[in-house]
Amino acid sequence: MSEIARPELPKRFYQSAEAAEAEGGFTVRLDGRPVKTPARQPLAVPVRAIAEAVAAEFAAQEERIDPATMPMTRLVNTIVDGIVPNPDPVRDDIGRYAETDMLFYRADGPERLVERQRQRWDPILDWAHDAFGARFLLAEGVMHVAQPEASLAAVRRHLAAETEAFRIAALHQATTLTGSALIALALAGGRVSAEEAWELAHLDEDWNIEQWGADEEAMARRALRWEEMRAAALILEAV
């Protein structure tokens, strides 16, 4: 059976891509014409830095436009078309991640990995306690441990203060990419940089790489996810 042909990418049809002021914020113009989202909404963002990042992705396209190389554009399209109208479900989903956050589940060995998790992950839990009064229970392995409802409620209250759709979407993307709502919240709160958050999220994976070496395809996928993380981090810093 022959492979299913991938859709042909659209040809680049513009010469220039630039950020520009627009009603209520900023947009991107291609040869002076404003960009629209896949749902034909005006591509409107709250700060210039985001528009400049989108414009840079359009400017970097060559003969054809490849959305796979445009993580900020994809995220902005998702926000404008799907999250701005009602960000509440996305914010609620971040809260659900906190119920089974990656940082709660620790290795039972070897001791060097256990100690590395303690040294790198415990400060984020300490920050969460200081920032919103939440304490969490830890477990070895993957057996589910129910977290105190008071702590989960504290996380939800903290999230409720996030009302800007772009920040909520960026928080959600950082959460899904790292597997940790607490790492994403620490990033949003300025406790860690994007690079530090990424290292925390890949602590176990990096340990395995140290022992067994890296898989080339897996590292390529990780590099693509990192670009998505950078886009989320830029929004959290700018908005």
Mean pLDDT (whole number) for 150-162: 97
Residue from 93, 97, 94, 119 nearest 106 by CA: 119
Q: Are residues 194 and 129 in the same domain?
A: yes
In the prediction, which pLDDT does 4 show? 55
Q: Is residue 1 part of a domain?
A: no
Q: Are residues 185 and 96 in the same domain?
A: yes
| Each residue's pLDDT tens digit, 5-21 | 567 899 999 999 999 99
Q: Is residue 211 part of a domain?
A: yes
Mean pLDDT (whole number) for 122-126: 98
Q: 17 — phi, psi (to 5°)?
A: -135, 125
pLDDT band at 217 (very low <50, low <70, confident <90, very high): very high
pLDDT band at 24 (very low <50, low <70, confident <90, very high): confident
In the prediction, which pLDDT does 2 show? 44
In the prediction, which pLDDT does 39 show? 97
Q: Are residues 167 and 201 in the same domain?
A: yes
Q: Are residues 65 and 36 in the same domain?
A: yes
| Each residue's pLDDT tens digit, 93-110 | 999 999 999 999 999 999
Q: Is residue 9 part of a domain?
A: no
Q: Report the chain's terminal Cα–Cα distance, integer Å.
A: 49
Q: Are residues 32 and 147 in the same domain?
A: no
Q: Are residues 100 and 200 in the same domain?
A: yes
Q: Are residues 103 and 210 in the same domain?
A: yes
Task: Please state the pTM of the whole predicted model.
Answer: 0.94
Domain C-terminal end among 7, 41, 70: 70
Torsion angle of C-alpha atoms 26, 86, 41, 76, degrees rounded to 10: 50
DSSP code string of 25-41: EEEEEETTEEPB-TTS-
Structural domains in the chain (count)? 2
Range of the domain at 212: 88-238
In the prediction, which pLDDT does 5 show? 57
Strands (E), the chain: 17-22, 25-30, 33-34, 105-106, 139-140
Mean pLDDT (whole number) for 112-136: 97
- At residue 3, does pLDDT exceed 90? no
Sheet of 17-22: strand order equals 17-22, 25-30, 33-34
Mean pLDDT (whole number) for 139-152: 93
Percent residues over pLDDT 70 in the chain? 97
Q: Residues, the chain, total?
A: 239
Q: Is residue 76 part of a domain?
A: no
Mean pLDDT (whole number) for 35-63: 97
